[in-house]
């Protein structure tokens, strides 16, 4: 069984406790943060195990590469601290169980992964994807299974992810562009944290879009709109790629409004909150988030994750802000939508 690479001495000597000090849902100073992380690492109880809302953000806040969120998840699982009713967790695990059902295009050395999100089968079209389509991959056999860490369930991805990696390897792919950043994070961040070797190069689709837009720059017509960006929890697993949001906006003539809840200070969409921690928390976070978009006069809310868009899309629309996925925004800029 794969085990998490975590160094308790790194926690003991941490001068900032940033993983918990910066958390928007917990209240901890540096001394408390260090103490609680060390307690968890040593198998002791901690209020964090009860109160963490699984937003992944501490993975980004920790600059020492010590995977605080994965530790929290591991210890919750060991102690049987459920973040959602067991029936919900079991339903999700069964939904994405590998069953030999998947779709492949003409897979080449460079491929486009849709994970297990059917939206991408409809969205990844046009000139943006000409150089990589029809080399696409879709289905449970290639699904990263990272979502289960929201449910304090590491056993599932430890069991399934090595098989997923092997399935990609069997296809002979050398590079894979992942259209969901949780999938990208699985291979670029989580797999190395558990000592799993990844025999191909994972590429975040924002990096792909930015490079492709530069190739198509003669087609770009500046959009001249103001947008708020809804950063998903899974983006915390690939924080080094977040700069491409601003880079893409600059390239296509979009003003990314400088609001309170963006970048490291981003708020979750609330989808997992409502499922695991109750409607009240989800509603409060969503209200603050959307009010922040309105205050800064965003015309559009740009989404990365389809699940975030499904959760918040109608809410931002009711607030007078147009919901749009990043792929569609980029296709607008080159005159395809």
Q: Which CATH architecture has domain 216-333?
A: 3-Layer(aba) Sandwich (3.40)
- Span 239-270, pLDDT tens digits: 999 999 999 999 999 999 999 999 999 999 99
- The pTM of the full predicted model, rounded to 2 decimals, is 0.94
Question: Given this chain, do its domains 87-205 and 216-333 carry the same CATH topology?
Answer: yes
Angle (CA) 107 191 186, round 5°:
60
Q: Which CATH architecture has domain 87-205?
A: 3-Layer(aba) Sandwich (3.40)
- pLDDT of the residue at 13: 94
pLDDT at 221 over 80: yes
Domain boundaries, the chain: 8-79, 87-205, 216-333
Q: By C-alpha distance, which of 55, 148, 84 is closest to 19? A: 55
141's tokens? 């056999």
- Span 315-331, pLDDT tens digits: 999 999 999 999 999 99
pLDDT confidence tier of residue 305, bands split at 50, 70 and 90: very high
State the virtual CA torsion across 302, 141, 173, 112 in degrees, nearest 10. Answer: -20
DSSP string, 38-101: HHHHTT---HHHHH-----HHHHH-TT---HHHHHHHHHHHHT--SS-HHHHHHHHHHT---S-
Pairing assessment for the beta strands 175-178 and 225-230 based on DSSP bridges: unpaired
- Span 146-188, pLDDT tens digits: 999 999 999 999 999 999 999 999 999 999 999 999 999 999 9
Compute the half-sphere exposure of residue 3: CA atoms within 13 Å on the CB side of its CA. 3
pLDDT confidence tier of residue 67, bands split at 50, 70 and 90: very high
Q: What number is the average pLDDT over the span 135-143?
A: 94
pLDDT at 222 over 80: yes
Q: What number is the average pLDDT over the span 215-223?
A: 97
Q: What number is the average pLDDT over the span 61-82?
A: 95
């Amino acid at each position: 069984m794969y085990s998490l690479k975590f160094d308790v001495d790194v926690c003991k000597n941490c001068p900032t406790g940033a993983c918990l000090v910066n958390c928007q849902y917990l209240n901890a100073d540096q001394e408390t943060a260090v103490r609680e992380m060390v307690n968890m690492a040593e198998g002791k109880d901690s209020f964090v195990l009860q109160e963490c809302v699984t937003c992944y953000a501490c993975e980004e806040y920790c600059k020492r590469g010590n995977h605080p969120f994965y530790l929290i998840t591991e210890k919750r699982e060991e102690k049987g601290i459920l973040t959602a009713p067991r029936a919900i967790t079991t339903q999700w695990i069964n939904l994405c169980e590998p069953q030999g059902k998947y779709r492949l295009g003409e897979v080449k050395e460079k491929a486009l992964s849709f994970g297990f999100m059917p939206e991408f089968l409809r969205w990844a079209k046009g000139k943006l994807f000409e150089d990589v389509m029809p080399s696409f991959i879709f289905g449970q056999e290639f699904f990263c299974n990272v979502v289960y860490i929201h449910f304090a369930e590491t056993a599932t991805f430890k069991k399934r992810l090595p098989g997923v990696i092997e399935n990609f390897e069997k296809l002979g792919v050398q590079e894979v562009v992942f259209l969901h950043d949780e999938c990208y994070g699985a291979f670029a961040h989580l797999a190395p944290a558990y000592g799993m070797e990844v025999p191909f190069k994972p590429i975040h689709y924002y990096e792909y879009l930015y490079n492709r837009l530069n190739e198509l720059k003669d087609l770009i017509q500046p959009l001249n709109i103001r947008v708020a960006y809804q950063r998903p929890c899974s983006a915390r697993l690939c924080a080094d790629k977040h700069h491409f949001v601003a880079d893409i906006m600059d390239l296509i003539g979009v003003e990314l409004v400088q609001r309170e809840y963006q970048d490291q200070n981003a708020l979750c969409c609330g989808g997992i909150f409502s499922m695991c921690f109750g409607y009240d928390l989800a509603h409060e976070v969503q209200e603050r988030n959307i009010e922040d978009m309105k205050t800064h006069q965003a015309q559009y809310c740009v989404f990365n994750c389809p699940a975030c868009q499904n959760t918040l899309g109608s809410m931002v629309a009711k607030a007078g802000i147009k919901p749009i996925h990043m792929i569609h925004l980029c296709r607008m800029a080159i005159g395809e939508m």
